Amino acid sequence: MAKTVKKAKSGQMETLRQVLDYIRRYWLLVGLSLILAAVTVILTLYIPILIGDAVDLLLGKGAVDFDDVFFIMKKIGIAVAVTAVSQWVMNTCNNHITYHVVKDIREDAFHKLEQLPLKYLDAHAYGDIVSRVIADVDTFADGLLMGFTQLFTGVLTILGTLGFMLYTNVPITLVVVCITPVSFLVAKFIATRTYTMFKEQSETRGEQTSLIEEMIGNQKIVKTFSREEAVKEQFGEINGRLEKCSLKAIFFSSITNPSTRFVNSLVYAGVGIFGAFVAIRGGISVGRLSCFLSYANQYTKPFNEISGVITELQNALACAARIFELIDEEPQAPDSPEARVLSDVRGNVRLEKVSFSYVPDRKLIEDFNLEVKPGQRVAIVGPTGCGKTTVINLLMRFYDVDSGSIKVEDTDIREITRGSLRTSYGMVLQETWLRAGTIRDNIKMGKPEATDEEVIEAAKASHAHSFIKRLPKGYDTMISEDGGSLSQGQKQLLCIARVMLCLPPMLILDEATSSIDTRTEIRIQKAFARMMEGRTSFIVAHRLSTIQEADIILVMRDGNIIEQGNHETLLQRKGFYAELYYSQFAG
């Protein structure tokens, strides 16, 4: 337990250091906020003195110095007005600091997402990442704003009232100081326990967000397989854990205020009783005692606020720790300064002794060798999990090889800029990706400068033009994220049109026609055949009827090439390829 608390405390201090690094960028506003907080506190503490002086002027019936009382009232009015203005400007500064810090953190987090290697995104649930960037940062903002709003003024109020009380009467002040440490002990006891609880709450909330996002995005599949009850049970289990850890965190945080109020009552009672005895003996006037009681109340009030702030800061720091975990992740290795821009690509690709695995102790691709000449069509076939899509990931350098090398135009792709390498490939995947915008914008994604005529030609070549013209606004029809109401086949046709518009020197087609009807597929295959002329093409296919014209067919199993040749040669061998081919036409 002690080790866990110590580790949590160390992580908390590191998180606090990172938060302060962001706040330091706005040091001028922080300084102004501190000055205004000091002005607010000083004037707030000066008002009880004025009130005490006014009380001492009320000597009895017929013995009231109204001129001096009215003069004091004017001073009180001015002090209250200046205090109000100072508080308003201070809160404006605090808002500015908080939301600029939040903006900076969100921008850094989003930029880091753009730099992270794909293996990080593959290993983390999307909902959890979204929860970190949105929900956790919002919670952090609430805690930070409360910290700025109440922590500064609270600490200064405590120090200021202590100074005024010492100036007014030392013995009574000592009574206050002796009882005060109880508040610190209470706050420390709660703070050391709430950080871990709030961190667990934040993590569980991210898990819940991830499940909700996954279920909403895949609701058709859930309903198709009648998984509603199972999903409800899974959600109920996560929701139950969230309830338990939230109740724990809230319980400990909620006992802060009553505990510190109890201590405050002890302080107030101590000052009242001891001060009364001092006043009876003539050690302090009634006005000064009333002033002192006001100070005792103001002195103890910040402990309530600060203890509440500390609890909120625990929650805020727990959320900040999660977002900083993302920001501190090791980014994708940048392009080497000597990396060259790939140009004049003819389509020479060579893989030499390539080995790769997603998990170190689970081998996938070993000693993979392949040489592809310009214009050749290479088909990759094999059972699920054999490494077909992994080869595509390595060609595009979404992942780097563990050993060996992949060369394009006799240059190792690790010595080529990622941007120029990837723009040399046109890629159509089985999974489509469209963004919110017009049909035209989605087709022009890879070539923003394309003319309308070029867009229409690409759409016609991909056989997407006919369905686009039937849409309400044709090419200007707005679609939502991931295509909205478009069918899977229509979305795939748009992705094919996008590649046909760019026409890069090399192509990757990963089950590119899997969602298209047979009649359209035949037309698309003909369009692909024209597009692939003179271009190096890699085709991943499950339907072997679509790759019979390939120059080279690689048959993969367990990460290795077990057969290689063209369609006729492989059938004559009567090996694994022939077994796969004839199994698709059995019966």
Where does a domain end: 503, 526, 552?
A: 503
Q: How far is CA 439 from each of CA 217, 461, 482, 484, 514, rounded to the nearest angstrom?
A: 22, 16, 12, 12, 21
Q: What angle is formed at CA 478 by the lines to CA 477 and CA 481, rounded to 5 degrees?
A: 140
Burial class (CB in 10 A: 0-12, 13-18, 19+), 564: middle
CA–CA separation, 431 and 218 (whole Å): 14
Task: Tally the domains of the chain.
Answer: 2
Residue type at 375?
A: G
DSSP-derived 3-state class of residue 528: helix
What is the pLDDT, as a whole number, of residue 76?
86
CATH number of the domain bearing residue 314: 1.20.1560.10
- Note whether residue 400 is domain-resident: no
**What is the phi/psi pair of residue 450, to 5°?**
-60, 145
pTM above 0.85, yes or no: no
Give me the domain span that covers residue 491.
433-503
Within-domain flag for 82: no
User: What pLDDT is recorded for position 62?
Assistant: 60
Same domain, yes or no, for 176 and 311? yes
* Mean pLDDT per 10-residue section of the chain, whose length is 587 residues: 51 79 87 86 80 70 70 87 90 87 88 83 78 82 75 78 77 75 69 73 81 76 78 87 83 72 74 76 72 73 68 77 85 82 85 85 81 87 79 87 89 88 83 83 87 90 87 87 75 84 85 69 73 83 74 82 85 85 68
Residue 10's pLDDT is 65
What CATH number does the domain containing 477 carry?
3.40.50.300
In a domain, 467, yes or no: yes
Alpha-carbon span 46 to 266, nearest angstrom: 24
**Per-residue confidence (pLDDT) for residue 513, from 0 to 100:** 67
Exposure b/e, 93-113, CB count within 10 A at least 16 = b: bbeebbeebbeebbeebeebb
Domain membership of residue 536 (yes or no) is no
For residues 516 and 432, is the Cβ–Cβ distance under 8 A?
no
134 and 10: one domain?
A: yes
Same domain membership, residue 123 and residue 261? yes
CB contact at 8 A, 145 and 98: yes
Residue 398 lies in a domain: no
Three-point CA angle 184, 188, 191, nearest 5°: 135
Looking at the structure, tell me whether residues 321 and 469 fall in a common domain. Answer: no
Domain stop point among 487, 503, 519: 503
Q: Measured between alpha carbons, how far is 319 from 313 in angstroms, rounded to an integer?
A: 10
Whether 278 is covered by a domain: the verdict is yes
Distance between CA 26 and CA 200 in Å, rounded?
31
Q: Say yes or no: 318 and 447 in one domain.
A: no
Contact predicate 533/359, CB 8 Å: no
Residue 5 has phi, psi (to 5 degrees) of -60, -40
The answer for residues whose C-beta is within 8 angstroms of residue 180's C-beta and 6 or more apart is 263, 267, 303
Give the Cα separation of 96 and 78 in Å (integer): 27
* Side chain identity at residue 363, one-letter code: K
Burial (CB < 10 A; 0-12, 13-18, 19+), residue 61, is: exposed
**What is the CA 493 to chain-centroid distance, rounded?**
33
Measured in residues, the chain has a length of 587
Helix 66-115 to helix 286-327 angle (10° resolution) is: 10
The structure tokens listed for 385 are 């999990």
Reference 37, options 144, 150, 146, 143; nearest CA is: 150
Q: Can you state the percent helix, strand and coil of the chain, rounding each to 5? A: 70, 10, 20
Q: Is residue 536 within 8 Å of 506, Cβ to Cβ?
A: yes
- Structural domain includes residue 405: no
SS3 (DSSP) at 233: helix
Residue 424: DSSP 8-state: T
Distance in angstroms (rounded) separating the CA atoms of residues 442 and 221: 26
Inside any domain, residue 229: yes
- The DSSP line for 476-512 is G-EE-GGGTTS-HHHHHHHHHHHHHHH--SEEEEEST
User: Rounded to the nearest 10 degrees, how much is the dihedral formed by the CA atoms of 254, 252, 320, 95?
Assistant: 20
Question: Are 439 and 297 members of one domain?
Answer: no
Residue for token pair 């996560």:
238
Distance of alpha carbon 586 from alpha carbon 434, whole angstroms: 37
Q: Which domain-ending residue is among 267, 292, 327? A: 327
SS3 state at 399: coil
439 plus 323 within the same structural domain: no
- For residues 10 and 136, membership in a common domain is answered with yes
Residues 320 and 444 occupy one common structural domain: no
C-beta separation of 472 from 449 below 8 A: no
First to last CA, the chain: 66
User: Are 142 and 276 in the same domain?
Assistant: yes
**Locus of tokens 């006037």:** 285
- 305 touches 149 (CB < 8 A): no
pLDDT, position 4? 47
Secondary structure, 3-state, 277-343: HHHHCCCCCHHHHHHHHHHHHHHHHHHHHHHHHHHHHHHHHHHHHHHHHHHCCCCCCCCCCCCECCC
